């Protein structure tokens, strides 16, 4: 059996539980591909999510330890399982692994082909691995909102991990984008496509924006009720 090195946790907890060790290299099952990992990304709260440690999204059922974290990743297809026509061996891919499976903090990871997409040629592996969860969250929010070209959208927290993608996608869809951010990030947010950027610490957004069709709130608490 081939082996590889991976980062794993044998007991629930935070980063202090992670160890780097030699483990069996996975083999792709039917419908799966084996990817040689080039970069992997870990969501800050990932180790606190019940799904990370079990086989179900609600955390019920038996423990799945030891676990491998980092469910956003980018790499190159090393082998394919039965029934997989795409992606092909040698293709650069990136994706988001279901949190009830092992992640990609390893030399290789076996994943369902359906969770992969071709890595854009203009994006390197490090940046591609940081993209899936935040960008998909942004896209899902705008999809639920039914945002249309010409509408006005306010992004609360436009410089955050999800907000930067909401601003870019909304602008790309032809919407008029306003966003709140820290003073040091205002020009950055404008560069992403916001027509108006407001300093959340000094500008009451209610005094500067009106007739919004959509508000994407990434801050919560009082900001949400005011929105």
Q: What is the predicted pLDDT for the residue at 61?
A: 84
Predicted TM-score (pTM) of the model is 0.84
Pick the CATH number of 133-226 from 3.10.20.30, 3.40.50.720, 3.30.1330.60, 3.40.50.300: 3.40.50.720
**DSSP, residue by residue, 25-92:** PP-PPTTEEEEEEEEEE--TTGGG-HHHHBSSTTS-SSB--SB----EEEEEEEEE-TT--SSPTT-E
Q: Provide the token pair at 60.
A: 């019920």
The H helix count followed by the E strand count for the chain is: 6, 11
**Fold agreement (3-125, 133-226):** no
Q: What is the predicted pLDDT for the residue at 25?
A: 97
Q: What is the predicted pLDDT for the residue at 44?
A: 83
CATH 3.90.180.10, domain 3-125, yes or no: yes
| Tens of each residue's pLDDT in the chain, 227 residues | 899 999 999 999 999 999 999 999 999 999 999 999 999 999 888 999 999 999 998 888 899 999 999 999 999 999 999 999 999 999 999 999 999 999 999 999 999 999 999 999 999 999 999 999 999 999 999 999 999 999 999 999 999 999 999 999 999 999 999 999 999 999 999 999 999 999 999 999 999 999 999 999 999 898 899 99
Would you kindly state where each structural domain of the chain is located, as residue ranges? Answer: 3-125, 133-226
């Amino acid at each position: 059996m081939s082996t590889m090195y991976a980062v794993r946790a044998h007991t629930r907890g935070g980063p202090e539980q992670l160890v780097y060790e030699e483990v069996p290299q996975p083999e792709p099952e039917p419908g799966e591909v084996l990817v040689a990992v080039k970069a992997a990304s870990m969501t800050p709260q990932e180790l606190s999510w019940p799904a990370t440690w079990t086989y179900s999204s609600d955390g019920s059922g038996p423990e799945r330890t030891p676990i491998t974290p980092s469910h956003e990743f980018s790499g190159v297809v090393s082998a394919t399982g039965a029934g997989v026509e795409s992606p092909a061996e040698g293709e650069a891919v990136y994706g988001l692994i279901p949190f009830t499976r092992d992640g990609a903090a390893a030399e290789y990871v076996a994943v369902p082909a359906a969770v992969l997409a071709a890595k854009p040629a203009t994006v390197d592996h490090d940046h591609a691995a940081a993209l899936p969860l935040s960008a998909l969250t942004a896209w899902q929010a705008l999809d639920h909102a039914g945002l249309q070209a010409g509408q006005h959208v306010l992004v609360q927290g436009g410089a955050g991990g999800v907000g930067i993608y909401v601003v870019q996608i909304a602008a790309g869809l032809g919407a008029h984008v306003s966003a709140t951010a820290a003073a040091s990030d205002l020009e950055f947010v404008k560069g992403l496509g916001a027509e108006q950027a407001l300093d959340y610490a000094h500008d009451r957004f209610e005094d500067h924006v009106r007739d919004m069709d959509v508000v994407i709130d990434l801050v919560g608490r009082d900001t949400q009720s005011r929105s």
